[in-house]
Chains A and B, each alone.
Chain A
Amino acid sequence: MAQIGLKEVVKKFGDFVAVNGVSLDVHDGEFLILVGPSGCGKTTTLNMISGLESPTSGEIIIGNRVVNDIEPGERGLGMVFQDLALFPHMTVFENIAFGLRVKKTLEPDIDRQVRAAAEAMHILPLLGKRPAQCSGGESQRVALARTIVNDPSVFLMDEPLSSLDAKLRVDMRTELKALHERLNATFVYVTHDQAEAMTMADRIVVMNGGLVEQIGGPLDIYDKPASRFVAGFFGTPTMNFLQGEIVAANGALTFQCEHIEHFLAENTPDSLAGKQVILGVRSEHVVVNSGGQQGQVKLIEPLGDVSLVFFESGGQEQLVAKVAPELRFSSGDQLTFGFQAAKCHLFDFDSGTRLN
């Protein structure tokens, strides 16, 4: 039983409120990722689950018991830290064996279990080395082996991949996901990297300013962001945002701003007419060379499989469209564009919450 529950959890450091009433449920065997910008409270939330921080108010439940007053070591958790926290004065073997020695495991058992964990993480040849002699990826595996060997039902990970280079990071993502499948344990993972969250998570919790903005599957969050913040946080390049007003004309709703007029999808609620809104549209939903708007190309970023075209349409904001690489533009070219009506997101101008 390894489901985790947070009920109205608050954490204050003096006057600073790091986590401001977070409630969420982590299901047994789930890969849940807490994501958000620095200072959003995601690491503090993780630390409260682990027991390294105690909540100012609220309840933390692991399995069926409230663990607020239970020592970190007695919660049945394993944790991988951002800096990995390998003990520099011990060999890899001793690092992995640490938890077993705490539990006073018999020496032959320690040897067998450490070797099994090392074998699972493909680090058998490293057992005699010190952490300082291991490369970044190797240290990562040592940290994972040290956690696995204690056989926790919940794995907590605090940005464990942030110290790796880009290529290794992508490889480790796949490996972590495979590890999750194999161990069948609950993973709670903290990251600020939206791509990492998208690729690995069963569910994502998006946090901002100590609050949960949205909880959902990766594609739910991508396709239906609950707020302007979430919309802007997920996806590269960042979603296009235009500020304007919804106008009812001839029985249809249109979005109007300084230079752009866009017919909204039919299912847009009529009650929105006359409202100040922010229209968001992802670059892949900007249609180029059709549609009624005029724009001027400012910059092209060819990525190979697609090209990003940055253009202006008279207004202040620069827009970006993801286009097929065959479409060749150069800076200064005129283009026509439009938005796919069904893929447009409307957010309240003041609160940023989703309207459609």
Chain B
Amino acid sequence: MSTDAKQALQIANRRRWRRTVVRHSILIGWGLIIMFPIFWMIQTSFKDAHEWVTWPPHWVPQDPTLKNYEQIFTFDVQQSGVAREATEQPFNIWGAVADSLIICTTSALIALFMGAFLAYGISRFNVGGGKFRHSVLIIRMIPPIVIAIPLLMYYAIMVPLASETVLGFRLSLFDTQFGMSLLYITITLPFVIWMMLSFIDEVPYTLEHAARIMGAGRLYTLRRVVLPLVASGMVVTFLFVFILNWAEFLLSLTLTHPDVSTLPVLLNKFQSASEGRLYGPQAAIGTVITIPVVVLGVLIQKHLIKGFSFGTIRK
């Protein structure tokens, strides 16, 4: 090899190496920015009160403690030792976990079931006309804060009033798991339809035609051909909707109390007039809330990768 060629190769190598370093530095930097709040939340959950807000900040707990966890998992707020900094409001983390799990899971499942069939109808039969697929998302353009109070009115007054007039007894959607599930189904359904549309559109028509020619009915074809092909998409959609519900705060805050409480609302209860925000217990709840989502994500990782990369069905 001539010296020129060697030099050119060296320069090219150096350039490639430099580009790699720059690219990775940017990614690592970005990753740190993204991950920092999570790191801060987790490490705060292991700090005692005097370390929550210090200047200069303590990057890691100097005095690690499980007190925050003890506090949030304790039913009896009066119990000595842990009761001191506890909220003045009654709380029950296991109740909130149950409420959150029941509300989020059922509403995501029902929305997914309905949305998959609706999307199939829109994709294959052009239900609602050509622009319908775009207009389903319009509901998402209304900020939740705008509808929160009217909904409260509806849930707490209109429905009980109507049921008392018509049925003779008072039926309330306010502060019930049923009411919250109904609301979550309604507000996430457009997302489900939108996401499922993109998956179902990917399934070639001819597969269904082939099945029909072989004598399969619509539902059989849907069950044996279409749904298995969009299974990954359904898993992704379920997770997406589940997380939306899991983290929803405003509507839950407005429409529940005191019987039903979801985890984000419970988290917010950890403050008191005398102590201000209880960052430690809040961070502990935040950490606990994040775990199911991460576990779910890891469990269905295979589907996630498949579902997030569209065009997975070989035509």
Question: Which A residues lie at the B interface, using CB under 8 A?
Answer: 50-52, 71-74, 77-79, 81-83, 85, 87-89, 98-99, 102-103, 131-132, 146, 150
A102 touches B204 (CB 8 A): no
B209-A81 in contact (CB<8A): yes
With an 8 A cutoff between CB atoms, is B214 at the interface? Answer: yes
From residue A44, how far is it (CB to closest CB) to chain B in Å? 13
6 chain-A/chain-B pairs, Cβ below 8 angstroms: A73-B213, A73-B215, A79-B213, A83-B206, A98-B211, A98-B224
Interface hub of B207, B209, B215, B224 (most chain A Cβ within 10 A): B215
User: Among residues 180 to 212 in chain B, which have CB atoms less than 8 Å away from a CB atom of chain A?
Assistant: 204, 206-207, 209-212
Closest to A158 in B: B206
Contact status A77-B225, CB under 8 Å: no
The CB with the most chain B CB atoms within 10 A, among A50, A73, A78, is that of A73
Given A88-B229, A89-B228, A102-B220: A83 and B315 within 8 A (CB)?
A: yes
Q: Contact between A150 and B214 (Cβ–Cβ < 8 Å)?
A: yes
User: Does chain A have a CB within 8 A of B314?
Assistant: yes
Cβ distance B302 to chain A, nearest Cβ, rounded Å: 14
Q: Cβ of A102 and Cβ of B214 under 8 Å apart?
A: yes
In the docked arrangement, what's the CA distance between A83 and B204, Å? 9
- For the complex, give the distance between the alpha carbons of A159 and B315 in Å: 16
Which bucket holds chain B's interface residue count?
A: 20 to 34
Scan B223-242; emit 1 where CB is below 8 A from any A CB, else 0: 01100110000000000000
Complex CA distance for A72 and B218, rounded to whole angstroms: 12
| Closest 7 pairs between A and B when the two form their complex, measured CB to CB | A73-B215, A99-B214, A85-B210, A85-B206, A102-B215, A81-B206, A79-B213
- On whether the beta carbons of B206 and A99 are closer than 8 Å, the reply is no
Question: When each residue 1-22 of chain B gets 1 if its CB lies under 8 Å from chain A and 0 otherwise, what string results?
Answer: 0000000000000000000000
Residues of B within 8 A of A85 (CB): 204, 206-207, 209-210
B216: interface (CB < 8 Å)? yes
Determine which of A52, A71, A98, A99 lies in contact with B209 in the assembled complex, contact meaning CB atoms within 8 Å: A52
Given contacts A85-B209, A87-B225, A98-B211, contact A73 B216 (CB under 8 A): yes
Chain B residues with CB under 8 A of A132? 314
Nearest Cβ distance between residue A45 and chain B, in whole angstroms? 15
Q: Which residue of B lies closest to A98 (CB)?
A: B214
Residue of B nearest to A152 (CB): B213
Instruction: Establish whether residues A72 and B213, one from each chain, have CB atoms under 8 Å apart when the complex forms.
Output: yes
* Nearest CB of B to A49, in Å: 11
* A110 → B minimal CB distance (Å): 13
Instruction: State whether B314 touches A88 (Cβ < 8 A).
Output: yes
The residues of A that contact B217 with a CB separation of less than 8 Å are 73
Residues in B neighbouring A82, C-beta threshold 8 A: 206
Contact of A50 among B213, B215, B229 (CB under 8 A): B213
The yes or no answer to B313 lying at the interface (CB within 8 A) is yes
Q: Which residue of B lies closest to A77 (CB)?
A: B213
Picked from B213, B215, B313, the residue with its CB within 8 Å of the CB of A88 is: B313
Q: Which of A71, A77, A98, A132 has the most CB atoms of chain B within a 10 A radius of its CB?
A: A98
Which of A81, A85, A87, A89 has the most chain B CB atoms closer than 10 A to its own CB? A85
* Chain B: minimal CB distance from A98 (Å): 6
- Are A89 and B229 in touch, CB under 8 angstroms? yes
A residues less than 8 Å from B314 (CB atoms): 88, 131-132
Across the interface, which residues of A come within 8 angstroms of B228, CB to CB? 89
CA distance A146 to B217 in the complex (A): 18
Q: Are B210 and A81 within 8 A (Cβ)?
A: yes
Q: How far is the CA of A266 from the CA of B143 in the complex (A)?
A: 88
Q: How far is the CA of A186 from the CA of B17 in the complex (A)?
A: 66
A72 and B206: CB pair below 8 A? no
In the complex, residue of chain B having the shortest beta-carbon distance to the beta carbon of A75:
B213
A46 and B210 CA atoms in complex are apart in Å by: 14
The contact of B212 among A72, A88, A131, A150, by CB within 8 Å, is A72
What distance in Å separates the Cβ of A46 from its nearest Cβ neighbour in chain B?
Answer: 11
Given contacts A85-B204, A85-B207, contact A103 B215 (CB under 8 A): yes
**A72 partner residues in chain B, CB cutoff 8 A:** 209, 212-213
In whole Å, how far is B94's beta carbon from the nearest beta carbon of chain A?
41
Question: Quick one: given A88-B314, A102-B220, are A52 and B204 in contact (CB under 8 Å)?
Answer: no
A132 to B229, CA, bound (A): 14
Contacts of B213 in A (CB 8 A): 50-52, 72-73, 77-79
With A81-B209, A83-B206 known to touch, is A73 a contact of B229 (CB < 8 Å)? no
Q: How far is the CA of A150 from the CA of B214 in the complex (A)?
A: 8
A146 to B211, CA, bound (A): 11
Supposing A88-B314, A132-B314 touch, asked if A102 and B216 sit within 8 A by C-beta, the answer is yes
Name which residue of chain A comes closest to B229, CB basis.
A89
The answer for the CA separation of A206 and B224 in the assembled complex, in Å, is 38
In the bound complex, residues from chain B placing their C-beta under 8 Å from that of A150 are 214-215
Identify the interface centre among B204, B207, B220, B315: most chain A CB within 10 Å of its CB: B207
Complex: A81 Cα to B210 Cα, angstroms: 8
When the two chains form the complex, which single residue of A73, A79, A87, A99 contacts B207, counting CB atoms closer than 8 Å?
A87
Q: Give A50 to B208 CA distance when docked, in angstroms.
A: 13
Instruction: Name A132's closest neighbour in chain B (CB-CB).
Output: B314
* Docked CA distance A99–B225 (Å): 12
List B2-46 residues whose CB lies under 8 Å from chain A: none
Specify which chain A residues have a CB less than 8 angstroms from the CB of B207 in the assembled complex: 85, 87
* Nearest-Cβ distance from residue A291 to partner chain B, whole angstroms: 53
In Å, the complex CA distance between A42 and B143 comes to: 52
Q: 16 extra interchain contacts, Cβ-Cβ under 8 A, other than A83-B204, A85-B210?
A: A50-B213, A52-B212, A71-B212, A73-B213, A73-B216, A79-B213, A82-B206, A83-B206, A85-B204, A85-B206, A88-B229, A89-B229, A98-B216, A98-B224, A99-B214, A132-B314
Hey, which chain A residues are within 8 Å of B211, CB to CB? 87, 98, 102
Contacts of A78 in B (CB 8 A): 213
**Contacting residues, chain B, for A77 (C-beta < 8 A):** 213
CB B219 to nearest CB in A, in angstroms, measures: 12
Least CB separation from B313: chain A residue: A88
* Min distance, Cβ A139 to any Cβ of chain B, angstroms: 10
Asked if A73 contacts B210 (CB within 8 A), the reply is no
Considering the complex, which residues of chain B in the window 285-315 have a beta carbon less than 8 Å from any beta carbon of chain A?
313-315
